[in-house]
Amino acid sequence: MKLPLLPPIPSLPDLLRNLVDVPDVVVPPGRWLDVPGRGRTWLTDVPGPTPDAPTVILLHAVGCTGLLTWFPVVEKLSAKYRVVVFDQRWHGRGIVSEHFSIRDCADDVAAIANVLDLVQPIVAGYSMGSIVAQRCWRQHPQRFGGIVLAATTDHFRTTGTERLFHQAMELGMGAFSTFSRSKTLNLATTAAAEMLLEPSDTHQWALREWRSTSAWAVAQAVASLGRHHSTPWLHKIDIPTAVVVTTQDKVLSPDRQRAIAATIPGATVHVAECGHAGCVLHSSVFVPAFLEAVDTTAGRRASRLPKPSRTTPA
């Protein structure tokens, strides 16, 4: 019996080729950040309007870098917030390690928040980044002030086809675990991208960002994502949470995204009429919904922070 195909996931070459509708960007500068005991990663830290502006940590999608997922939103977000974006492990210039796991990614976020001395930051994740954001609360429930989940899910393997796909990916990665990142896969995916793209400033920058993550690393990340299952504990999340539902998503069902919001106590829902690549391809639709979600979460976060003590003049 022929199995049905999984919903098509937009390829990065196709995504980048469609950047013709996205204006050229001024990419904010980054720097290397050493994370004690974990490694180093490439981090962009954009200050907010005031020194005490709340911080938002942005976590990117699988196969991308921090800025490749979030460049449409950084400038507008920094009008109110300090914005921290970094490459997650095995992606771009992220932490290099022997193994990849979503749990380690969540611990990386907490470690970076500690290095930067961030006070109750909001963690916002897109797709894979939203899974990491969920685990940030699970593994460090007192460290963060709120979470924003965009294009999210509580688990994969919800259908027979998905289970077969993730099991095959996991077995395949285990069988070849002795190999490092595959040069063959890198060359193949790079060649495909270069044939599909027309050169421009934005294209060239985006292509360089995409090429910095190997197809091998993406496969490892997908295998790890297949083991994610937060359904048993989502109802315990006790910090302000917002869910941005990508209503035309063919990769992660909008119904499943709404179900997550209904499970997390007090979670707010913010609608973006776009598909799974909407953070870039339909940024004019996604960004307003995302900013609304962050503002709502930040407002609820502020109401929970300890009030500054007042000293009575002598």
CATH value at residue 137: 3.40.50.1820
User: What is the band of 192 on the pLDDT scale with cuts at 50, 70, 90?
Assistant: very low
Residues 6+ apart with CB under 8 A from 52: none
Residues 6+ apart with CB under 8 A from 143: 110, 113, 120, 136
Does 314 score more than 90 pLDDT?
A: no
User: What is the band of 59 on the pLDDT scale with cuts at 50, 70, 90?
Assistant: very high
Predicted pLDDT of residue 309: 56
Predicted pLDDT of residue 267: 98
What separation in angstroms does the CA of 96 have from each of 136, 182, 235? Answer: 20, 15, 33
Q: How far apart are CA 128 and CA 71, in angstroms?
A: 17
Does 13 score more than 70 pLDDT?
A: no
6 within domain boundaries: no
190 within domain boundaries: no
Does 213 score more than 50 pLDDT?
A: yes
Predicted pLDDT of residue 179: 38
User: What is the band of 28 on the pLDDT scale with cuts at 50, 70, 90?
Assistant: confident
Q: How far apart are CA 110 and CA 91, in angstroms?
A: 18
Q: In the chain, what is the straight-line distance between the N-terminal and C-terminal CA atoms, in Å? A: 84
309 within domain boundaries: no
96 within domain boundaries: yes
Mean pLDDT computed over every residue of the chain: 81
Mean pLDDT check: name the lowest of 76-90, 162-176, 250-264, 292-306: 162-176
Nearest to 125 by CA among 241, 222, 38: 241
Nearest to 128 by CA among 262, 27, 17, 252: 252
272 within domain boundaries: yes
187 within domain boundaries: no
Does 11 score more than 80 pLDDT?
A: no
Mean pLDDT (whole number) for 96-119: 95
Q: What is the number of other CB atoms lying within 10 angstroms of the CB of residue 314?
A: 3
Give the rounded distance of the alpha carbon of 94 from its chain centre.
13
What separation in angstroms does the CA of 124 have from each of 23, 227, 311? Answer: 24, 21, 36
Mean pLDDT (whole number) for 38-42: 96
Nearest to 146 by CA among 252, 299, 249, 3: 299
User: What is the band of 262 on the pLDDT scale with cuts at 50, 70, 90?
Assistant: very high
Q: Tokens 């609304």 — which residue?
A: 292
Mean pLDDT (whole number) for 96-121: 96
Structure tokens at 61: 């999608």
Number of domains the chain contains = 1
Residue type present at position 154: D
What is the extent of the structural domain holding 95? 12-19+27-155+229-303
Does 138 score more than 90 pLDDT?
A: yes
* pLDDT, greater one: 49 or 14: 49
Mean pLDDT check: name the lowest of 145-154, 164-173, 274-283: 164-173
Nearest to 244 by CA among 294, 302, 280: 294
Predicted pLDDT of residue 222: 84
Mean pLDDT check: name the lowest of 56-60, 158-162, 253-257, 277-281: 158-162
Predicted pLDDT of residue 201: 56
Predicted pLDDT of residue 226: 86
Does 249 score more than 70 pLDDT?
A: yes
Q: Is 124 in a helix, a strand, or coil?
A: strand
Contacts of 200-206 with CB under 8 Å at 24 or more apart are 200/19, 200/20, 200/24, 201/24, 202/19, 202/22, 202/23, 202/24, 202/25, 203/16, 203/17, 203/19, 205/25, 205/27, 206/16, 206/19, 206/68
Mean pLDDT (whole number) for 254-267: 96
